Structure 1
Amino acid sequence: MEHVHLAVEEEDLYSGYNDYNPAFDSEMTAKFPGSAIGPRPLATSFGARIPLASSMGRPTTGAVQDGAARPMTAVRAAGYTSSLTRGSTFDPLGQSRGPAAPLEAKNEDTPEEKIKILEKKVNDLIKESCMAQSSGASQLALEKAKEAGRKERTLVRQREQSGNADHVNLDLTYSVLLNLANQYANNDMFPEALNSYQVIVKNKMFSNAGRLKVNMANIYVKQKSYPKAIKFYRMALDQISNAHKEVRIKIMQNIGVVFVRMGQYSDAITSFEHIMSESPNIKTGFNLILCYYAIGDRERMKKAFQKLISVPLGVDDEDKYLPSQEDADAEMVLEAIKNDRLHQMERDLKVLAEKYIMTAAKLIAPAIETSFVTGFDWCVDMVKSSQYVELANDLEINKAITYLRQKDFNQAVETLKTFEKKDSRVKSAAATNLSFLYFLEKDYDQADRYADLAVTADRYNPAAIINKANTMFVKQDYEKAGELYKEALRNDSSCTEALYNLGLSYKALNRLEEALDCFLKLHAILRNSAQAIEWLLQVLSVTHTDPRALAKLGELYDGEGDKSQAFQYYYESFRYFPSNIEVIEWLGAYYIETQFCEKAILYFERATLIQGRREGREGSAGSTDSSRRERLSAKMRSLPASNEPYEASSPKEMDASYVDPLGPQTERPKTGAKRRLEDDDFADEELVDDLLPE
């Protein structure tokens, strides 16, 4: 094809305009922009002035006459116009022209504009849903996700009506469905989430959608459908190429963990061993040790422990943070970054690694050798030759604590005394434990000596300060002890031992308000009731029909959010003592929450009846009884209305009598309760022999 160049000269601006070259006939038309399948370009005065042939025919070749407009060409069909008239000059940059006419305003009534507006609304709803979830508003996030789904379907219908069904925005559809599935999962609506994921996975138009089978597998894990979870993890693994190594490793970790939950340790070991050979990490190494421990393979436990302590963390290279020597502000830079997020993350990783190594050593020490001491010494020797050499001392101290658990006091003391010449941190820890041991043995002089040694080695060790304060307390120097307890709290505000002991000191000094304040703070910090539950269970093992102990257990489990256990103990308490209004009220509220309103009515009726009888017997109700009566009335009113007007049962229809745990009397008057409800929780139950007191 012959190339034609446009020559522009000052003397004759239009020289050569009407020259025609037949090489441009019909072959260039299809290549020129502005065809029917693309958008029409905006009108502009800057464009090619080469005469091009078109399917409409060749341009007129006559000379341009003065005062006549320039002939039209096929270029106009592509959106290019010419406004040159007589006396005008060729100005391709538009420098000599006045201000350009404003662009035509968009018409929002056209189908294209409506679709664009709706697309933006859908995108905004997805963003709002994600933001709501990040702020903890899971329910709002789900509502926004559902609304985005509804508007996206409206958008698809509008495209179909406008004839643009082939231009469906697949990325937007994918985003809507994925966000909806995620929000269902975040709200524990697992069947709905699985259905939404399934819609995406089955659609062949969504590339790489098979990866979402990981999300589906995670839901199956939560549902404890472990075989299905394994199946979907493996299907997701097949969809991910080897180039995405980290993702594949994480999926294989999940597969191993699920196998552990299923008790299939051999399969879990296969997954974990592969990971440790390809991309070793601390968590997988620890899980591998647990699996070997579960099957009792002591040799492989040793090898796995050696692999665990050799996993590189990449956090010890401090030189990577040093600025160049020419930097005059080097110290300021180091000061600024010493506690940044990266350093915090590295410290957390190191702490986690040390925790796993310590736990693994304590776990396998008794199992890998003939005795605990030999096994622990082997672990210590391995750690001393690794990057965690500073952990060796901690393991030695832990060995002393293990001696204590085995009630071998002398070996514990001997082990701890070997640390007296170590560095300050280890020396303080060992001396603290020695002080504690001697305090338990009531050798207060030795306890005081080692407490001083511990405090001297580390002035900010709260445990050492508490031991020193304890020696002051037993000497009845409560003022000095209190000051030391407060110092320990200043060093560590979460030191509950110091807070409790400070309360005891205030109590001994008869400063009861301050003592109460300490105990209330302690109660606010230690919300868990594990110790109380343990002791109450021991009480019930001796007297398992104690209604107060049962009610207290119900209260503790309720505080921890375990409603099923709370109901069990509250119900047992009610069986043995059916006149405790607090217990009856809790049971009524429980049945309201579980939507068994008929049973709730029965309990509230009983509570109201007992309250009325007490008021009649005592003459008048106090403020507590009055507030309880109002609360019961409010709960009764909160019950859903039935078809018939609600009426409280008369006293004749309710049996509020106490059931003697020794068994039924010879003859008992009949009541109307059986007539009203055959399967009544309040019916007297026959006690079996194992429920009778000894």
Structure 2
Amino acid sequence: MGGNRNEKVEEELCPRSVARNLEHQINTLLDDTAVLTKDGNFQEALEKAKLAVKILESLKKQRQDHSLSDVNIELTFAVWFSMALAYETNDLLEDAVKTYTFLAKQRGHPLSSRVRINLGNIYYAQHEYPTAIKMYKMAMDQTRNDRKAVASIRRNMGNAFFRLGHLRDAVKNFEESMNTHPNHQTGFNLLICHLALGDAENTKKDLTKLVKLRRDSPSSIDDGGEECMDETTTIFNEINTKDETTNRALFAAARLVARSMDSKELISILQDGHEHLAMKIEHEQAIHRLINNDLKTAVKTLKSLETKSREMRAPVATNLSLVHFLEGDVDIASSYADIALGADRYNAKALVNKGNIFFANEHYSSAKDLYLEAIGVEANCAQAIFNLGLSYVRLHEPEEAIRAFEKLYSITPNNPTVIYQIADINENQGETQSAMKWFNVLAASRSSDSTILSRLAYLFSKTKDEAQSLHYHLESFRHFPVDLDVIAWIGAWFIQQEMFEKSIYFFQQAALIQPNEIKWGK
């Protein structure tokens, strides 16, 4: 029994056993670091990586002291690579670069190319694009036989060239990447470059290629493992599933191309397997025509879409409701608003449309309820908040009206219409100081608006501040010298001050405007 215990102790003290134990600790720490990084616990992962490096040094010393073989090069590389990644994820980029550079000098390791890619990505993130390109080229030289890896590196180089403004070099790399490993992300970037170069023919070809890339094709879906992101590709960060990524990329590309391509040709290209995207583009074009007052063509397009897809029913009906409302066809507008809400009750724009119809019919309480429902769906729906404020005014609830307009002011602080409503309500409620405050805010951005200036002049007159009142009356007259109320006030003020010559001048101006009015001749 005692002999077995002694043998066990000797085994534990055996240099090889000690080395194996240290290696086991290192491997455990590497696994922990990977898991922590994946879970977003970057600081803890960094501590684990540092401990792994420390134990690695102990392992080297243990092997040297007992004349054992050198530490496995794979283990050494893994520890330092883990350390570099930990620095990188913690934004300690200078330390990350030093560590990656150390690893890059270890020639012959199968992960050397990945080290260069990571270095390139760090330089890219620091806007050092020429150095990033240099790293990518070195990585590509080490991965000639891996076509997929080369395609990914080519894409990164294309992004860097794009950021430098070297569009033709970017095109060359994106095209090489697409030829080797086509995917929607690279195709989208290529289209952006051709569009920026004004190359309409190749832009059309790029879009056609994107449309033909099937979502279930292995080559069309990128694993994203070595991609350094760029403004032209941030669209892909907004969504989670690969199907949605594909649709978003195609839709974004089509919207960009729509500005320079014949609409019928564009729709024809999209209808090849992506009819739902074609309808979305048609819908956007209809809205664009509405904005440009081409109502007849817009309505024709919207009505053609109305019967094509259940998915398009709500947005199409919403826009048709708005068109008919603006044309004064309230009953038809109401019918389309009902269709839109029937297809999607949580459609904020449709709720606003229906509320507007109640408002136009002076059913302010019902309008208010719909605006509140729209805000419940979309908290920052500006139209709903503004119209809610107007409804409260009609319902003689000024405090609620001001609350609504002040909320909208916090969302759109430079909106003069919103500021005017707050000022106007305050004045009507006899809150002179608050009204003056808001009209002053408005006057700061609309210094030549005579109406605002005259309102301020009147408010200062109410507070017996004759100097400020005269100032704003004169400013109002300067910008709009035909307002008889303003002219009359100024003329009367100069009479009170016994400055008759000046008062005569202003009454003469009034007489020129209304020559048959007797009072100007007195």
- Please, what TM-score do these two structures have when normalized by structure 2? 0.65
Match of 1:226 in 2: 129
1:390 is paired with a residue of what secondary structure? Answer: helix
Question: CA distance change for structure 1 residues 349 and 488 in 2, over 3 Å: closer, same or farther?
Answer: farther
Quick one: which amino acid aligns to residue 276 of structure 2?
E
Is the aligned partner of 1:140 residue 2:44?
Answer: yes
* SS of structure 1 residue aligned to 2:274: coil
Contact conserved, 2:150 with 2:177, CA < 8 A, in 1? no
Name the CA distance, whole Å, in 1 between partners of 2:352 and 2:217. 34
Aligned to 1:415: 301
Please show how residues 435-584 of structure 1 align to structure 2 within 5 Å: 435-440=321-326, 444-459=330-345, 461-481=347-367, 483-484=369-370, 492=377, 496=381, 500=385, 504=389, 531-532=412-413
User: 1-side partners of 2:105 and 2:334: how far apart?
Assistant: 73
SS at match of 1:313: coil
Partners of 2:292 and 2:383 lie apart in 1 by 27
Counterparts of 1:500 and 1:156, CA distance in 2 = 69
The aligned residue for residue 250 of structure 2 is: 357
Counterparts of 1:119-158 in structure 2, within 5 Å, are 119-158=23-62
Q: Which residue of 2 aligns with 1:377?
A: 264
How many angstroms apart in 1 are the aligned matches of 2:39 and 2:415?
Answer: 37
Q: How does 1:6-85 map to 2 (within 5 A)?
A: none
Q: Are 1:361 and 1:376, in contact at CA under 8 Å, matched by a contact in 2?
A: no
CA 1:449/1:299 → structure 2, altered by over 3 Å: closer, same or farther?
A: same
Please give the secondary structure, in 1, of the residue aligned with 2:8: coil
The answer to whether 1:118 aligns with 2:15 is: no
Q: Does 1:274 align with 2:166?
A: no
Partner of residue 639, structure 1: none
Question: What amino acid is the match of 1:259?
Answer: F
Structure 2 residue 283 is the aligned partner of structure 1 residue 397: yes
Whether contact under 8 Å (1:259, 1:267) holds in the other structure is yes
- Number of residue pairs matched? 395
Q: Is the 8 A contact 1:499 1:518 kept in 2?
A: no
Q: Which amino acid aligns with 2:313?
A: K
Cα gap change, 1:149/1:532 in structure 2, threshold over 3 Å: closer, same or farther? farther
Evaluate the alpha carbon distance shift between residue 367 and residue 135 of structure 1 in structure 2; reply closer, same or farther with a 3 A threshold. Answer: same
How far residue 153 of structure 1 moved from its aligned partner, in angstroms, is 1.2
1:498 shift after superposition: 8.7
Secondary structure at 1:367 match in 2: coil
Instruction: Report Cα offsets for 1:278-334 as digits up to 9, x if no partner.
Output: 332212222122111111112222222211211111189xxxxxxxxxxxxxxxxxx
Deviations 1:567-590 (A, max 9, x none): xxxxxxxxxxxxxxxxxxxxxxxx
**C-alpha distance in 1, partners of 2:379/2:72?**
55
Gap runs ≥5 in structure 1 = 1-100, 317-344, 369-374, 536-547, 553-694
What letter is aligned with 1:279? Answer: H
CA distance in 2, matches of 1:498, 1:532: 15
Contact between 2:389 and 2:401, CA under 8 Å: does it hold in 1? yes
How far apart are 1:351 and its partner, in Å?
3.0
Task: Give the Cα separation in 1 of the matches to 2:94 and 2:132.
Answer: 14
Change (3 A) 1:497 1:409: same
Residue pair 2:64, 2:70 contacting (<8 A) in 1 also: no
**Contact residue 180 and residue 196 of structure 1 kept, 8 A:** yes
Change (3 A) 1:388 1:129: same
Gaps of at least 5 residues in structure 2 are: 219-237, 417-436, 442-522
Larger mean Cα displacement after TM superposition, 197-206 or 127-136? 127-136
> Is contact 2:158–2:170 with CA below 8 Å preserved after alignment?
yes
In the TM superposition, what are the counterparts of 1:299-314 in structure 2 within 5 Å?
299-314=201-216
Query: Structure 1 residue 151: deviation in Å?
Result: 2.4
Whole-angstrom CA distance in 1 between matches of 2:22 and 2:397 = 69
Cα deviations across residues 607-627 of structure 1 (Å, max 9, x unaligned)?
Answer: xxxxxxxxxxxxxxxxxxxxx
Matched with 2:314 is 428
**Which of the pair has the greater relative contact order for Cα pairs under 8 Å at 6+ separation?**
2
Matches of 2:185 and 2:103, distance apart in 1: 32
Distance 2:41 2:57 in 1: 25
Give 3-state SS (helix, strand or coil) of 1:168's partner.
coil
Percent pairwise identity: 33
Distance 2:110 2:187 in 1: 35
**Does 1:254 pair with 2:156?**
yes
SS of the equivalent of 1:105 reads: helix
Please tell me whether the aligned partners of residues 285 and 308 of structure 1 are also in contact (alpha carbons under 8 angstroms). yes
Structure 2 vs 1, CA of residues 140 and 532 (structure 1 numbering), >3 Å: closer, same or farther? Answer: farther
Task: Give yes or no for the alignment of 1:178 onto 2:81.
Answer: yes
CA distance 1:123–1:104, shift in 2 (3 Å): same
Partner of 1:285: 187
Distance in 1 of aligned mates of 2:52 and 2:399: 57
Q: Which has the higher helix share?
A: 2
Counterpart AA for 1:433: N
Distance 1:519 1:451 in 2: 25
Report the Cα distance in structure 2 between the residues aligned to 1:351 and 1:206, rounded to whole angstroms: 38
Asked if 1 retains the 8 angstrom alpha-carbon contact of 2:371 and 2:384, the reply is: yes
Name the structure 2 match of 1:200: 103
CA gap 1:442/1:221 in 2 versus in 1, 3 angstroms:
farther
Aligned-partner residue type, residue 298 of structure 2? A
Match of 2:515 in 1: none
Contact preservation (8 Å) 2:392, 2:398: yes
Distance in 1 of aligned mates of 2:36 and 2:301: 56
Larger radius of gyration: 1
User: How many Å apart are 1:253 and its aligned residue?
Assistant: 1.2
| Deviation readout 1:343-400 (Å, 9 max, x if unpaired) | xx999333333333333233223324xxxxxx1121012222x110222222211111
Separation in structure 2 between the aligned mates of residue 106 and residue 405 of structure 1, nearest angstrom: 86
Paired residues of 2:157 and 2:170 also in contact (CA < 8 A): yes
